């Protein structure tokens, strides 16, 4: 926090504590000038207020609290920017990127800080390390049949992936279904792992400017016809005439770039198969028109730095298992 705020917080905290201490002392030493047990001169409907001392147990507790409070503020952070004698921190604040986190970690180590979050993560690693070690060297296809590995992968999926792909991995609009064996980037263990490690950014340009209203309508008709939908034949034919615009990414037959497993560069584009009636962004005429008009840019985050090799290995096995049911 800024120096001004730091001073503000410090002054208020200390003022409150010492204010309480002073009030206690004032009552304790009887500064009211009235003898103990005598009337304070206040009378409420016949009930008189006497100058009785504070109960001793209560007073001692109050004193203990003040001492504890001051001790706490010396040991732990609380007074503005003062870090506390124990140099304890809950977590690294003000980090904006993974590099920031690495820098903050190194700095904390240098300064002998005790960062609770880091210690808990380290403790968690100690527990999970022997579990992960069992699966590390086995191929994905193999551990995808191991119920324990799949169970761990599923938990990791629920923690990290379900918010986008759904708890059952069936996806939603814009987020691919991972259970249907219809792949944008390939469903081999290697391709799935690459998706998780590096992330994927899809880029489908918008065609509003190039095709115009009429062209978008025609092209949507053609796209829908590819998966066997009934459409106006003239519109579809007009769309087909311009399909050359799309073939570079979606393939000459609209089967998507992923089908060319032999050409990794093609595969990385992630252009969906348009003939299978599986829609990432919805298969209504309106949805397809909107897709064509505005373009799309689905982003699958990269997980390498966040999850690390072991977790990605198990997640790959889980995702792989979803569309490759165990044979035995
Ligand atoms: C922020 C949302 C988000 C999160 C979180 C997320 N994904 Fe994705 N994922 C996407 C999007 C969007 C795509 C599709 C990218 C595109 O449109 O081409 C995708 C694509 C994929 C694909 C490729 C599917 C294909 O058909 O080739 C796999 C596999 C995948 N995600 C697995 C995961 C796993 C495992 C996790 C958890 C570690 C995860 N995703 C977390 C948004 C997300
Ligand atoms: C530069 C490569 C590229 C070109 C050219 C291209 N697309 Fe795409 N298209 C993609 C990618 C990549 C996606 C997936 C976008 C995403 O996941 O966010 C996509 C998605 C789509 C979808 C959504 C499919 C679904 O399942 O919801 C449709 C429909 C589509 N494209 C049709 C077309 C048509 C028609 C053309 C030609 C006018 C075209 N695309 C040109 C790359 C391309």
pLDDT tens-digit profile of 54-70? 899 999 999 999 999 99
User: What is the C-alpha separation between 51 and 28, in angstroms, rounded?
Assistant: 11
Question: Please, what is the average pLDDT of the chain?
Answer: 90
CB 303 within 8 A of CB 176: no
Residue 167 CB: number of other CB atoms within 10 A? 11
From the CA of 280, give the closest atom in ligand 1: 17
The per-residue pLDDT for 54 is: 85
Gap between the terminal Cα atoms of the chain: 60
CB 296 within 8 A of CB 205: no
User: What is the C-alpha separation between 297 and 239, in angstroms, rounded?
Assistant: 23
User: What is the C-alpha separation between 212 and 9, in angstroms, rounded?
Assistant: 61
Q: Does residue 311 have its Cβ closer than 6 Å to ligand 1?
A: no
Q: Is the pLDDT of residue 218 over 90?
A: yes
User: What is the C-alpha separation between 297 and 92, in angstroms, rounded?
Assistant: 32
Q: What is the pLDDT of residues 14-46, one digit of tens each?
A: 999 999 999 999 888 867 778 888 888 899 999
With the CA atoms of 215, 217, 222 and 224 taken in that order, what torsion angle do they form, in degrees rounded to the nearest 10?
Answer: 150
The per-residue pLDDT for 256 is: 80
User: What is the C-alpha separation between 293 and 216, in angstroms, rounded?
Assistant: 7
Q: Is the pLDDT of residue 79 over 80?
A: yes
Provide the b/e sequence for 45-78 (b: ≥16 CB within 10 Å): eeeeeeeeeeeeeeeeebeeeeeebeeebeebbe
What percent of the chain is modeled with pLDDT above 90? 69
User: What is the C-alpha separation between 106 and 290, in angstroms, rounded?
Assistant: 48
What is the distance in A from the centroid of ligand 2 to the CA of 281? 10
Residue 194 CB: number of other CB atoms within 10 A? 18
Higher pLDDT, 135 or 267: 135
Choose the residue to mutate in 165, 180, 181, 308 for probing ligand 1, maximizing ligand atoms within 8 Å of C-beta: 165
From the CA of 278, give the closest atom in ligand 2: 26
């Amino acid at each position: 926090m800024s120096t001004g705020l730091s001073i503000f917080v410090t002054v208020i905290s200390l003022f409150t504590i010492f204010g309480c201490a002073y009030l206690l002392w004032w009552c304790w030493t009887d500064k009211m000038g009235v003898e103990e047990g005598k009337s304070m001169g206040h009378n409420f409907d016949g009930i008189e207020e006497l100058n009785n001392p504070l109960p001793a147990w209560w007073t001692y507790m109050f004193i203990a609290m003040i001492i504890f409070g001051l001790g706490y503020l010396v040991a732990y952070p609380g007074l503005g920017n003062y870090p506390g004698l124990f140099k304890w921190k809950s977590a690294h604040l003000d980090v904006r990127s993974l590099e920031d986190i690495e820098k903050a970690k190194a700095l904390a180590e240098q300064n002998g800080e005790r960062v609770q979050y880091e210690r808990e993560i380290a403790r968690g690693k100690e527990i999970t390390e022997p579990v992960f070690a069992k699966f590390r060297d086995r191929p994905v296809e193999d551990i995808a049949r191991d119920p324990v590995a799949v169970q761990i992968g599923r938990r990791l999926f629920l923690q990290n992936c379900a918010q986008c792909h759904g708890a059952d991995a069936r996806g939603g609009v814009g987020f691919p279904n991972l259970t249907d064996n219809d792949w944008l980037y390939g469903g081999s263990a290697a391709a799935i792992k690459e998706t998780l490690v590096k992330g994927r950014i899809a880029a489908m340009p918008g065609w509003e400017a190039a095709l115009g209203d009429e062209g978008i309508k025609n092209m949507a008709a053609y796209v829908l016809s590819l998966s066997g939908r009934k459409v106006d034949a003239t519109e579809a034919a007009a769309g087909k005439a311009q399909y050359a615009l799309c073939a570079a990414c979606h393939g000459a037959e609209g089967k998507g770039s992923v089908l060319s497993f032999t050409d990794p560069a093609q595969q990385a584009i992630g252009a969906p198969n348009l003939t299978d009636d599986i829609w990432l962004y919805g298969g209504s005429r309106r949805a397809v028109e909107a897709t064509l008009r505005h373009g799309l840019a689905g982003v699958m985050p990269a997980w390498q730095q966040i999850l690390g090799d072991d977790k990605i290995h198990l997640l790959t096995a889980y995702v792989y298992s979803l569309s490759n049911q165990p044979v035995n």
